[in-house]
Structure formats: C-alpha cells, structure tokens
Amino acid sequence: MRSDRNSRAPLALKIAAALGLLFLHLPILLIFVYAFTTEDRSFQWPPPGYTLKWFAVTWNRPDVWEALGLSVRVAAISTVVALVLGTLCAAAVSRTKFFGRETISLLVILPIALPGIITGIALRSAFNLADIPFSFWTIILGHATFCVVVVYNNAVARFRRTSGSLIEASMDLGADGFQTFRHVVLPNIGTALLAGGMLAFALSFDEVIVTTFTAGQQATLPIWMLEELVRPRQRPVTNVVAMVVVLVTFLPILAAYYLTRDGDQIAGSGK
Amino acid sequence: MSAGAHAILPGRGGLFGTLSDVLWRNPRLTLFLMLTPPLLWLGIIYLGSLFALLAQSFFSIDEFSGLIRYEWTFKTYAELLRPSNLDIILRTVSMAAAVTLASAVIAFPIAYYAARYARGKWKALFYLGAMLPLWSSYLVKVYAWKLILAKEGILTWIFAKLHLTPVLEAWLALPVIGGNSLSVSYTGTFIVFVYVWLPYMILPTQAALERVPESMLEASSDLGGSPAQTFRHVLLPLALPGIIAGSIFTFSLTLGDYIIPQIIGSSRLFIGQAVYAHQGTAGNIPLAAAFTVVPIVIMGFYLWMAKRQGAFNAL
Amino acid sequence: MQTAVAFSRVSRHFGAVRAVDEVDLAIAEGEFFAMLGPSGSGKTTCLRLIAGFEQPTSGHIEIFGETAEGVPPYRRNVNTVFQDYALFPHLSVADNVAYGPMIRGVPKAERLKAAEEALALVRLPGYGDRRPGQLSGGQRQRVALARALINKPKVLLLDEPLGALDLKLREQMQEELKALQRKLGITFVFVTHDQGEALSMADRVAVFNHGKIMQIGAPEEIYRAPRSRFVADFVGSSNVLPPDVTERLDGRRAWASLRPEAIRLVSEGGVEAMVTGHSYLGAATKLGVFLGEQRLTVLLPAGSPVPAQGQMVSIQWNPADLHVMEDEQ
C-alpha cells in the first residue's frame, strides 16, 4: 500500500506544522477576545469581564469614521489606477516581444521589493523638492505605485495561460481590436483583474509605511491605528477597530483566492 | 449573397473602427500607447523620486544653519560610518539574519507538510493558512503582539500558570536580548518580526517543495538513504532555492521596517528608525538618504547571491 | 473561373529567417488546395498571410482580385480553422459559433438559429448549450469548422485541422471535409505535413520547403512525376536513383524516382537484385532489395509469395514509371 505509506506524515512533522499554523493564527484571534473586554486601562489577561459597549463607543467616534472613509476612498482610487496601469503593462509585456521587457517587469516589482520606507521617503522628498503640498492625491500617488505590481502579476499569469490564438480567432471572425478586447480578452482575464484589484485594495487599505510619508494632516485608518499604538488614548476602541480591520481585509483576500482558483479551472477545461 | 459578396470588407467606420485600423497597422504605436501611462507613472514619478533621493545623499547639511548645502560631497557618507551609525547598521543586519533563519526553520515543516501530505481540502486550508496572515493588516498583527507581550498580558499569565515565571525572569535578565518586559526587549522585536514575515517564507518554500518529484525521494531511500540522509542530501538542496527566495523577503522587509522596533522593542534604533528620525525631526535629508542606500546595497548584493543560487526560478 | 488567392513574389522574413521566400501562387475559386511540407517550410506562414495575421515583407497578395496587404484580418472575408481550434472558453458552443454574426450585429434570435444550422451542417445538432471544455477533440474541431463556415467566407483556411485527432477519426474527418467542400463550393486552403492527407483530399497540392514552393500540381502529378528529389522523398517513400544508376537502367544521366509499387517481381527478363529483408504492412508487403550498390524498396501486393532474405530475384517496371527529374535539388 504505497499510497497509504506516503499519505501518512511523521508525528513530529505534524506537530511542528500544527504549531507553526497556530503561531500564525492565534495572535489574530486574540484580538477578537480583546474587543469584548471590560478592562480599558491595560492589556490585562484574562479579561476581567466581557461587554459589547465598546462597539457602541467606536460606532459613535467620528475620527474612526473619518479615517475609515479616507482609507476606503484612497484604496478605491489607487485600485482603479493600478488596474489600468497594471493591465496595460501586462498586456504589452505578454503580447509583444520588445526590447526592455525584463526592465519593465523589474520596474513594476521594484516599489514592493525595496523596503517601504525607501519608497516613502523618496516620494516625500520629491514632493518637497517639487513644492507639491501633501494631500489626498499625494497618498494616492504613493499607493497606486506599489499596487500596480499585484494587478500586473495576476494579469501576466492569466495572459500567459490564455492561448494567443484566441485573439487571432476573434479578429479572424471579424472583430477589430476594441471588439476583441471587449468580447474575448476582458472575459478571459476578468477574474484575474478582479482578484488583482481586490488584493490591491487590501494592500492599499492596510498600508502604513509609505502613507506616513505621503500624507499631510489626513489620517487613514492605519495611520489612526499607528497613532493609537504609539500614544494610546482609548485602548478598547483600538481593539474594536483592529477586529473590524481583520474582518474587512479577510473578505477581499478570500474572494481573490476563489476567483483565481476558478480561473484555473476555466483555463484548464479549455485545453 | 450578403456577406459573401466581397472578399475584402469595408471598415466598420466610426471612431473606434478607424482607430482600430490605425492601431492594427502600427503595432509599434500600439505598444507605445500601452506602455506610456505605466512608464510615465513608474519611470517618472517613482524612479525620479528614487534618484532624487539618492542624489541628495551626496549633499551635506550645514552644521550651523541646519540647511542643506547643494554641493557634491562624500561628507554625509563619512558621517554614516561613525561608530554610532555603524552600530545601527550592524544591529539591523544581525536582526534581519536572525529573523530570516528563524523563519526558515519554522516555515519548513508547514511548507513540507502542505507540499507533500496535504491533499484536497487540507491543501486549500494550508494555502489560505499562509495567505490570510500574509495579507491581513500589518498593524493589527503588530498590535496583537503588543497585547500578548504586555507585562499584564497573556504570555506572562501562561508562564505564571505553568509555574515558569522564574524562567521568563531569568531570560529578561539576560544582557542585550533581555529588558524590562518582553514588549521592550529585543526578544520581543525578534518574535514580532518572525511572526509578521513568516508567511513570506512559507509560500516560496512550499512552491519549491511541490516541484520535488516523489520519485526522487523514493530513489534516495531505494539507494539506501535513511530518512535523515534523504532530507540532508536530496530534499534540502532541492528546497534551497525556495528558502532563499523567501529569505529575500524576510531579510529585505526586516531591514527596512521602522514601525515594529518603534512599538515593540528597546529605545536603540534600527536603520528604518534612523531614516525616519533624520528626515523628520532632524531635517537631515542627506543623512537619511545615505541611510537608505545601505539596505539597497545590501539587498543588491543579496539578490546577486540569490540569483547565482537560482532562487529567482522559485519566486 | 476566378482566382481566389494570388501571390506574386511574396516574401515574409523574420529577421534573417526567410519563412516565405518569393512565392508565386494562384488558387482557383472553389478549389480544395493543400499546402504540404515539413515543419518550418513556410506553409503555415503562407496561410497566415492569407488570413492577415502576417504581412508580407515584399510582394503582392490578392484575394478575389482585391489587394490584401494592409487589410486587417477582421476586414477579410476569409476564415480560419485553427490548429488548436481556439474556441473561446468563456462562451457556450452556440455563442462560439454565433461570434461572427454577433460582431456584425445580427440580432440574437437570428444568429442563434444560424448557429444551430451551422452545427447541424457539421453534424453536431443540439450541442449549442455545452461549453468547449465538455467536448472531445473531434467535436471541438467540428465546432471550429461551424464557427468559420457560418460567416460564409470566400476562402476557408485550415491549419493542420486533423493533426490532434487519432487515426480513425482523422480518416472519417478527411472524407467529411471533402464532402463539405464539394457541397458548399467554398475555396478551401489546407495546411498539412501529412502527404497522405494532402494527396487524398486536395484538388491541387503545393509542396513547400525552405520557404519556397518546390512543386504545384494535382496529387497524381506530384506523386507520379516529382520534379525534384525533395518532392520525391517527401511525397511518399519513393526510390530516388542517382544519375549513374539511372544511366545504367535507362540511358539518361539524371536523378530519377521510381515508386515502390511500380516495381514487380518477374520470373525472367528483369534486372537481378538481392533480397535484404521484408516487412509486412497488412495490405501489402514491403521488400528491401539491393540492385548492385543501390538499395530499393519494392511493394508487393498482398497474397503474393515473399522471397527469402539473400535470395536473388528478378525485378521489372514499366519504363514510363521511371521518372527522370528536371530539378537537381
């Protein structure tokens, strides 16, 4: 029974893998417990009691709503910019062979490969040199720059799997460039773009390092949280916000996972 | 005959029809139009800022007025090599190395189990198990550890319940890695770094292990290799490119981070904090720029080494 | 009869590679035309030049008398059946077939009715609701055919359409394609590397090598009278005789070809040759003999006695079957 033997893992390996996964997930779950604690001065464990009142308190905090609103707007616009730029780049790189393709891939990946502080300080000093005042749009400028790569990666992977003859077939059947894009290219890369867009949204929504350099007086939700971490004002509110952020970011990531997985199946069945 | 009348059909006309014909006839123009927006954005805004920053590292700051003197000089780099600054660099690189090593050790069993034994639903679960922490909020993760490592937090409580409080106290009494509590010690910084960057190690390692054919391991045991020998001589060398690929992330991310050591750790600076301090309150952009050159150079060297090991195929 | 496709001195170069090199070609309307050649011989590039996916580096292409250079594929009333079929994975079979009419703005009900008719034509009625992924290779091929034919193209291009099918399905599809072409009267241009396929289906065959056409002609002509060693070799496994052997047998000093099935064993009056071995092919037996230094293949009809290895036999052929080639190559 060869397959039996292969499918049974050594006990030590099982334990090490399980401990590793627990290490990854327990701390996040702990946040959920703290969101209900009655203690508001320290991080006391175990919590002396449980209450729902901090949800109401958080709900009535205008600064949290403002930060959340700003984060959503920044993430949405950055995602749109990243979708356009990333798709254009991916299409150019995968459809045509031209001099400098490798350079373009490197250029797209660079903003995320270099530490965020470098991107942040570079943009900040450039804004200073160019006398650009910090605003909503300077945040977008920074976020879109590092969001391009996730869209690009997803789109390039899908383009690679999509047979080039599909485009030729569409043109052969009378569709011009725009019609081919609308009826063949877009439906085939759609889920990959959606997944890339969701990841870009999650990335932007959560970004703090570059944002600290490119934001003026505005506080996105991560900036708000960082303020609370450095100079705590009302700890329970931070606990609740942290829990909400976890839940909000999980949804697009799960959706992106299922979208690209389904995409694989579609591409696989086409062969 | 309707459609069959002519072999060559007229264009569909209109703006899009005409534009489509023009673009089709000029593939180079099409490529140019596609690449212009992303290249303008990334090439001008991003690379431009980056080079502007690097250029500033060759300026210096006037010690009396505190203003930047726009003259080419290596003075700022000389300043970078002062013992106190070298200390910062050394501290950061040691931390990055320790974090990378620990991540590799913790990631391997998870990646190995996921690649070799997990099937179907379990496989998806393992994949999401690494993906979700990778993408979930960085600050929330750091915050969670602030809760855990606090003096009144869960870790102290667990040690107390297990009657191991003296062990924790002995650890905290150690020089360098100890401190007042875990949340203000290097140990705390180290744990949080490992926690936050671990998923970046798991995914490439798993990808590399997935590519090791089962038959190769069978061949090794068939040739008389014990499980330990098979691991040492077959599995590890084949997984190494993946581990190196993962280490690029853990190393680079640790080098540039300034938030984790600020929130959990002692008051001694890391490179990221030094950059932040110099550009912010001190207003010494040239020195801050020179500091950013350090991780760029280290990562350039690291990437060059990794490329020689073939790690890029595992990315 | 009108000329469907005309090439005059058409070249297509990719860098230093001359994929198509100064090709002249005229395909008649309603013809079943095959382009035959080894891979890399330029036959597929020629097909792509007709479809409009490639543009000639130099030369002139006309389709039904109209200039084709600079005309994009979507403005050519020419359709292609792709080697990998290129069915759109995100569309149902019916929507795949109705793609051309959809682009032309034909109303939905009308185009789906046309798609059902086209599917019936390729003997796949009722398959419209399926996805391409749910079909077998042969079925996908028929869908690709229906998707092209629904547009009533002036020329239908087929790029190795049977390449991915197994032997039995292939033979069946060969007959069906031929019947379909006769019924519709559309000009078919068919690319293949399989000489059997080209000879059995086409009205005329062009044999390609190194970007040039080596010979164009009816299948019988190509088979019986190859103009060059390459054609003789590639189209069937002919015996190619060097000039000195030809001179000894025929008197003329030139390269010649002699088809294996044209050689027969006789009891007397032939040329003496030694049997080196045989292999059984089912419908015939292939016999290897040495005629002096020259190795020859002889095809014996089934049921005839097979001489043993090492035996001397007498072989003979009709002098008209020894075909002397004009071209040295």
Domain residue spans in chain C?
3-232, 256-324
Angle at B172 between CA B105 and CA B158, to 5 degrees: 75
Closest alpha carbon to B305 in B237, B255, B241, B254: B241
Position B224 confidence tier, pLDDT thresholds 50, 70, 90: confident
Residue C204's pLDDT is what? 95
Position B236 confidence tier, pLDDT thresholds 50, 70, 90: confident
Of chain A, the percentage scoring pLDDT greater than 90 comes to 17
From chain A, the residues in CB contact with C91 under 8 A are 187
Contact B4/C at CB under 8 A: yes
Q: Does position C171 have pLDDT exceeding 90, yes or no?
A: no
Q: Hey, is C129 helix, strand or coil?
A: coil
- Does residue A229 lie in a domain region? yes
| Sequence ranges of the domains in chain B | 12-69, 79-314
Torsion of CA A90, A96, A102, A105, to 10 degrees: -10
**Rounded to 5, what percent of chain C is helix, strand, coil?**
30, 35, 35
Q: Do B3 and C104 touch (CB under 8 A)?
A: yes
Length of chain A: 271
Residue B310's pLDDT is what? 64
For an interface test with A, the pick among C50, C99, C104 (most A C-beta atoms closer than 10 Å) comes out as C99
For domain B79-314, the CATH class is mainly alpha
Number of Cβ atoms within 10 Å of the Cβ of C31: 21
Of chain B, the percentage scoring pLDDT greater than 90 comes to 12
Q: Do A174 and C90 touch (CB under 8 A)?
A: no
What chain C residue is nearest to B12 in terms of C-alpha separation? Answer: C75
Q: Do A165 and C86 touch (CB under 8 A)?
A: yes
In DSSP terms, C158 is beta-bridged to C81, C190
Fold classification of C3-232 (topology level): Rossmann fold (3.40.50)
Q: Which of A163, A179, A187 sits opposite C90 (nearest CB)?
A: A187
In angstroms, the CA C196 to CA C235 distance is 8
CATH number of C256-324: 2.40.50.140
Average pLDDT of chain C to the nearest whole number: 90
Which amino acid is located at C264 in the chain? Answer: R
In DSSP terms, A82 is beta-bridged to none
Q: Which residue has the higher pLDDT, C206 or A235?
A: C206
From chain C, the residues in CB contact with A184 under 8 A are 88
Residue C158's pLDDT is what? 95
Q: Which of residues 12-51 of B touch C (CB under 8 A)?
A: 20-21, 24-25
Best mean pLDDT range from A1-10, A85-94, C29-38, C308-317: C29-38
Q: How many Å lie between the alpha carbon of A188 and the closest alpha carbon of chain C?
A: 7
From chain B, the residues in CB contact with A225 under 8 A are 139-140, 143
Position C213 confidence tier, pLDDT thresholds 50, 70, 90: very high
From chain C, the residues in CB contact with B25 under 8 A are 70, 72
In angstroms, the CA A251 to CA B128 distance is 12
Residue B312's pLDDT is what? 58
Residue C323's pLDDT is what? 87
In angstroms, the CA A194 to CA A199 distance is 9
State pLDDT tens for residues A155-186: 888 888 777 789 999 999 999 889 999 999 99
Position B9 confidence tier, pLDDT thresholds 50, 70, 90: confident
Q: What is the Cα Rg of chain C in Å?
A: 23
A-C Cβ pairs (cutoff 8 Å, strict): 79
Closest alpha carbon to C35 in C27, C26, C25, C43: C43
Q: Do B41 and A46 touch (CB under 8 A)?
A: no
Residue C153's pLDDT is what? 93
From chain C, the residues in CB contact with A183 under 8 A are 99, 102-103
Q: How many Å lie between the alpha carbon of B34 and the closest alpha carbon of chain C?
A: 20
Q: Do C82 and A168 touch (CB under 8 A)?
A: yes
Q: What is the Cα Rg of chain B in Å?
A: 27
Q: How many Å lie between the alpha carbon of B17 and the closest alpha carbon of chain A?
A: 7
Question: Same topology for domains C3-232 and C256-324, yes or no?
Answer: no
Instruction: Answer for the pair C151, C77: CB distance below 8 angstroms, yes or no.
Output: yes
Q: Does position C212 have pLDDT exceeding 90, yes or no?
A: yes
What chain B residue is nearest to A236 in terms of C-alpha separation? Answer: B147
Number of alpha carbons in the 13 Å side-chain half-sphere of residue C182: 8
Instruction: Answer for the pair A229, B146: CB distance below 8 angstroms, yes or no.
Output: yes
Overall average pLDDT of the B83-107 stretch: 92
Q: How many Å lie between the alpha carbon of A176 and the closest alpha carbon of chain C?
A: 6
User: Where do runs of H (alpha helix) occur along chain B?
Assistant: 14-25, 27-39, 48-56, 75-80, 83-116, 121-135, 138-149, 154-161, 165-173, 186-210, 214-222, 227-230, 236-256, 260-263, 271-279, 285-308
Q: Does position A4 have pLDDT exceeding 60, yes or no?
A: no
In angstroms, the CA A209 to CA A135 distance is 16
In DSSP terms, C291 is beta-bridged to C294
Domain count for chain A, please give it: 1
Residue A81's pLDDT is what? 95
Which domain range does residue A105 map to? 46-269
Instruction: Answer for the pair C28, C64: CB distance below 8 angstroms, yes or no.
Output: no
In angstroms, the CA C134 to CA B86 distance is 65
CATH number assigned to the domain comprising residue A163 = 1.10.3720.10
Q: Do C77 and B1 touch (CB under 8 A)?
A: no
- Does residue A7 lie in a domain region? no
Pick the range with the lowest mean pLDDT from B19-23, B60-64, C92-96, C231-235.
B60-64
Q: Which of C68, C151, C153 sits opposite B8 (nearest CB)?
A: C68
For an interface test with C, the pick among B1, B2, B6, B8 (most C C-beta atoms closer than 10 Å) comes out as B8
Q: What is the Cα Rg of chain A in Å?
A: 23
| Chains with at least 3 CB pairs less than 8 angstroms from chain B | A, C
- Does residue A40 lie in a domain region? no
What chain B residue is nearest to A198 in terms of C-alpha separation? Answer: B135
A-B Cβ pairs (cutoff 8 Å, strict): 251
Q: Do C89 and A270 touch (CB under 8 A)?
A: yes
Position C10 confidence tier, pLDDT thresholds 50, 70, 90: very high
ipTM score for this prediction: 0.83
Residue A271's pLDDT is what? 24
Contact C78/A at CB under 8 A: yes
Instruction: Answer for the pair B205, B107: CB distance below 8 angstroms, yes or no.
Output: yes
As to burial, measured by CB atoms within 10 angstroms (0-12 exposed, 13-18 middle, 19+ buried), residue A83 is buried
Contact B23/A at CB under 8 A: yes
Overall average pLDDT of the B191-198 stretch: 93
For an interface test with A, the pick among B31, B49, B192 (most A C-beta atoms closer than 10 Å) comes out as B49
What chain B residue is nearest to A25 in terms of C-alpha separation? Answer: B133
Of chain C, the percentage scoring pLDDT greater than 70 comes to 99
Q: Please give the structure tokens belonging to residue A233.
A: 């004002």
- The single-letter DSSP state of residue A174 is T
Average pLDDT of chain B to the nearest whole number: 84
Q: How many Å lie between the alpha carbon of B176 and the closest alpha carbon of chain A?
A: 23
Q: Do C75 and B6 touch (CB under 8 A)?
A: no
- The single-letter DSSP state of residue C278 is E
Contact B146/A at CB under 8 A: yes
Average pLDDT of chain A to the nearest whole number: 83
Q: Which of A166, A179, A269 sits opposite C86 (nearest CB)?
A: A166
Q: Do A179 and C103 touch (CB under 8 A)?
A: yes
Residue C50's pLDDT is what? 95
Q: Which of A169, A174, A176 sits opposite C86 (nearest CB)?
A: A169
From chain B, the residues in CB contact with C66 under 8 A are 6-8
| DSSP element (H, E) containing B176 | none
Best mean pLDDT range from A61-70, C50-59, C239-248, C291-300: C50-59
From chain A, the residues in CB contact with C104 under 8 A are 174
- Does residue A128 lie in a domain region? yes
Torsion of CA C209, C212, C214, C218, to 10 degrees: 100
From chain C, the residues in CB contact with A173 under 8 A are 74, 79, 99-100, 103, 147-148, 151
From chain B, the residues in CB contact with A84 under 8 A are 37
Q: Do A176 and C74 touch (CB under 8 A)?
A: yes
